[in-house]
A and B are shown apart, each in its own frame.
Chain A
Amino acid sequence: MKKSASWDSLLERDWGDTWDSLPDAPGWDARAKTAQITLRLPRTVLSRIKRVAARRSLPYHALARSWIAKGLREPELRSTIPESDEPLTEQLNIKLDHVLLDDLKARAHEQRYPYHRLAREWIETALVQEEGDLGLDQAAAQRPSLMELMVLLLHSSNARGEDVVRGITRLQKLLFVVEQKLLPSTDFYAYNFGPFDEEVNKTAEALRLAGFVRGGHPASAEPLSFAAMIAVVVEKAGPGVPLDHEPRKDFALTEVGHERAERLRKSGLAYERLAAYVAAIRQEYDKDDLVERIYAEYPQYAENSLIREKVARRAKRRGKR
């Protein structure tokens, strides 16, 4: 039986007759001069608080504390913000003096409401107001990070059931499609082999160093060198051509990486949907004609491509088959 349940059963007894026979309970140490409140918040709310704090050049704990004080100054402030379905995974510790904390508890008591929730609602209400004042977009803070997208992508598999992504170019292209389909903006730009974002290389390397991704060698954050470009052009010329460059880097999650991805997926309804969407995109796009398809669907990202004509010829040959 859980402790809380077994201790609840202590309430079922009348202790009036046996009280004097029980051992005395020990006393306690007096509380410290400052108190602390620990709030549980959704991840996106905490990141939004940090973003506002950065814009205000304030520590985010201090900003959150000031919002609690503001809530106390306003007599009937209660949140009109609907409860999010995002889990309360983040912890925010705020130091308060006892007077402020006692006032918060008194206000919550008057309303018959948990003081932690009251503080959280005041913070979320003030956050929305501040974001409005600063002209910040809530959705931008809620967009998934590139690392999250990469982990979810590698956690899925293609139509052949393979979870490995073969080569950094393919990883770049798949993440490009995911961002195009899911996000209102992207950092990808037209480069020598189509859409490119150096953050993809950096993120893949960070995940490899963290032990979440196997395969892949230390990847340069920079676009390919001229020699490497030529090597890739040769590679793309077709099979049987000798290659004189680094072997292709394949990317797949380690067991720990899959566990992390699964935890991310289960961390809320929004991530479950995101994971399903990323998996569907991978099923549809992670095929032999990935590059041709991207050049056809997003021609503005193929404008600087060194292999545009080759890709066009290949697409034509496929069309004839």
Chain B
Amino acid sequence: MGSSGRQYLPEFEWDEANEQKLLERHEVSAREAEECFANAHAKKRVGDAMLMLGKTDNGRMLLLVYERKGRSVRVYSGREMTARERAVYNRRAR
């Protein structure tokens, strides 16, 4: 995981069920989701849900849907970015 952002990572709330779902439906591991938070990213809010455009250590470019729960963050789902989203990422990620 990118060591530069590691200390600024949030507390993640995972359990076997949401990990399994993320892996099976979206082929995204917990590790990859967390890497998106540690590396350069862009984030926006849609109602109570948060969207993140992020990049894993291996260069996968992912759109994640997550929620803030108190001090923690719970990732619900994710997928590969579209071409337009990648363009936004390249412009906005920091």
Establish whether residues A25 and B43, one from each chain, have CB atoms under 8 Å apart when the complex forms: yes
Is A242 interfacial (CB-CB < 8 Å)?
A: no
- Closest CB in chain A relative to B73 CB, distance in Å: 6
On whether the beta carbons of B43 and A31 are closer than 8 Å, the reply is: no
Report which of B51, B82, B88 forms a contact with A25, defined as CB distance below 8 A: B51
| CB < 8 Å neighbour of A16 from B15, B68, B83 | B83
Given contacts A10-B49, A24-B45, contact A38 B88 (CB under 8 A): no
Q: A15, A112, A113, A120: which contacts B88 (Cβ < 8 A)?
A: A15
Q: Is the CB of B45 within 8 A of A112?
A: no
Selected from B25, B34, B92, the residue in CB contact (under 8 A) with A19 is B92
B7 within 8 A of A: yes
The number of chain A residues touching the other chain, given as a range, is: 35 or more
Residues of A within 8 A of B (CB): 3-4, 7-8, 10-11, 14-17, 19-20, 22-26, 28-32, 35, 38-40, 88, 102, 105-106, 108-109, 112-117, 120
Given contacts A22-B44, A31-B9, A117-B20, contact A38 B29 (CB under 8 A): no
Q: Which residue of B lies closest to A11 (CB)?
A: B79
Whether B65 lies near A24 (C-beta < 8 A) is no
- Contacts A15-B85, A15-B88, A16-B87 given; does A116 touch B19 at CB 8 Å: yes
Cα distance A108–B14 when bound, in Å?
13
How many chain B residues touch the partner (CB < 8 A)? Answer: 49
Could you tell me which residues of chain B, from 9 to 43, have a CB within 8 Å of some CB in chain A? 9-12, 14-16, 19-21, 23, 25-27, 29-32, 34, 42-43
User: Secondary structure at chain A's binding surface: helix, strand, loop or mixed?
Assistant: mixed
- Bound form: Cα–Cα A108–B10 in Å: 20
What are the 3 tightest A-B residue pairs by CB atom distance, in nearest-first order? A16-B84, A114-B19, A109-B31
Given the contacts A28-B68, A31-B10, A105-B31, A22 and B82 also touching, CB distance less than 8 Å: no
Contact yes or no, A115 B30, CB < 8 A: yes
**Cross-chain contact A30 with B7 (CB below 8 angstroms):** yes
**B10 and A23 contact, CB distance less than 8 A:** no
| Cα A108 to Cα B20 with chains together (Å) | 11
Q: Which A residues touch B20, using CB under 8 A? A: 114, 117
Closest residue on chain A to residue B73 by CB atoms = A28
> Are A19 and B19 in contact (CB-based, < 8 A)?
no
* Cβ–Cβ < 8 Å partners of B94 in chain A: none
Query: Can you name the residue of chain B whose Cβ is closest to the Cβ of A98?
Result: B6
CA separation between A29 and B9, bound complex, in Å? 8
* Chain B residue contacts of A24, Cβ below 8 A: 43-45
CB neighbours (8 Å) of A113 from chain B are 23
* A8: chain B residues within 8 A (beta carbon): 25, 65, 76-77
Please report the C-alpha to C-alpha distance between residue A127 and residue B28 in the assembled complex, in whole angstroms.
30
- With both chains docked as a complex, state the minimum distance between the C-beta of B88 and any C-beta of chain A, in angstroms: 5
CA distance A88 to B20 in the complex (A): 15
Residues of A within 8 A of B34 (CB): 105
Q: Assess whether A114 is in contact with B23, with CB atoms less than 8 Å apart.
A: yes
